[in-house]
Amino acid sequence: MKTKLPVTIAFLTGLFMAFAYFVERDNVAWVRILYEELNQNNIVLAVFVLFLGVGTLLIRHAKKIRDKNSDSIYSWVVIVSTLAVAYIGLFQTTGESIGANENFQWIFNNFQVPLSATMFSLLAFFVASAAYRAFRARNTEATLLLIAAAIVMIGRVPIGSVISDSLSLTGSFSLPAIAEWILDIPNTAAKRAITIGIGLGMTATAIKIIFGIERTYMGSGK
């Protein structure tokens, strides 16, 4: 029963959602109602996943504090900031919306914005350092990658036009035009192949789940 029930639910819902995709739902009332209901339930599940995420985060860090881990100071920061933001969001917005809560926006603008901006800005430095150490023309493939990357990096920024003009590279031979060609042709060809491959893989996995061949989502691995 423990196995049969989830497999049956997966089979029925999977088959129905695939069927509903190809049916004019507005013309078939029962399909439309069931489809809307399943959609709504999925959104409710997504909200529970958020709760699960926050709960797991808090439990994990509480354990670190209990075990007197050497980095437990950071766990305190995580727990205190999570609870503080949750308190402001939950209890200081009574009778109004989160959008009208100035404290919430203040925390966002003065904590999350500078912290996220700092983390992302550091990428510029680490990308430069990593590119210097890793981008070596060791073989033909690496050389092609190196040349394509350099052209796209230069061709996609204004200095690409300036360099092209100074070298009298015009029309299709200008750096921006070559960068555009790389993005339009080789990049698109590779991406399309990957996308179609992923699509076929997803379809195969979905079919296996619907027909109960793939059952690892139940956790047993059998």
Partner 1 sequence: MNIWDKLSSIDRRWIFLAMAIFVSWPVLKPLGLPVTTTKEVESLYSFIEEIEDKKPIILALDYGPSTAPELTPMAKAVMRHAVSKGIPVVGVSLAPDAPGVANDIWKWAEEELGAIPGEDIAYLGYKAGTTNVILQMGQGISKAFPKDYYGNNTDDLEIMEGFESLKDASLVLGLEATAIMDLWIQYAGDQMGVPVAGGMTAVSAPEAYVFYQSGQIVGLMGGMKGGAEYELLVGAPGNAVQGMDAQSLGHIVIIVFIIFGNLGFFLGKKGQDVSRLKSLRGDQK
Taking the C-alpha atoms of residue 47 and residue 45, their distance in angstroms, rounded to an integer, is 5
Taking the C-alpha atoms of residue 54 and residue 52, their distance in angstroms, rounded to an integer, is 6
Q: Considering the complex, state which of residue 25 and residue 215 has its C-beta at the smaller distance from partner 1.
A: 25
Taking the C-alpha atoms of residue 110 and residue 55, their distance in angstroms, rounded to an integer, is 25
How many residues make contact with partner 1 (CB under 8 A)? Answer: 56
Contact 176, 155 (CB under 8 A): yes
**Shortest distance (Å) from residue 60 CB to partner 1:** 19
Rounded to a whole number, what is the distance in angstroms from the first to the last CA of the chain? 14
Contact 150, 112 (CB under 8 A): no
Contact 106, 95 (CB under 8 A): no
Stretch that binds partner 1, among 3-11, 34-42, 59-67, 78-86 (CB under 8 A): 34-42
Stretch that binds partner 1, among 2-10, 59-67, 108-116, 209-217 (CB under 8 A): 108-116
Contact 44, 51 (CB under 8 A): no
By CB under 8 A, tell whether 34 contacts partner 1. Answer: no
Stretch that binds partner 1, among 63-71, 78-86, 159-167, 208-216 (CB under 8 A): 159-167
Residues at the contact surface with partner 1, assessed by CB under 8 A:
21, 36, 39-40, 42-43, 46-47, 49-50, 96-100, 105, 108-109, 112-113, 116-117, 119-120, 124-125, 127-129, 131-133, 135-138, 146, 150, 153-154, 156-162, 176, 180, 183-184, 187-188, 191-192, 195
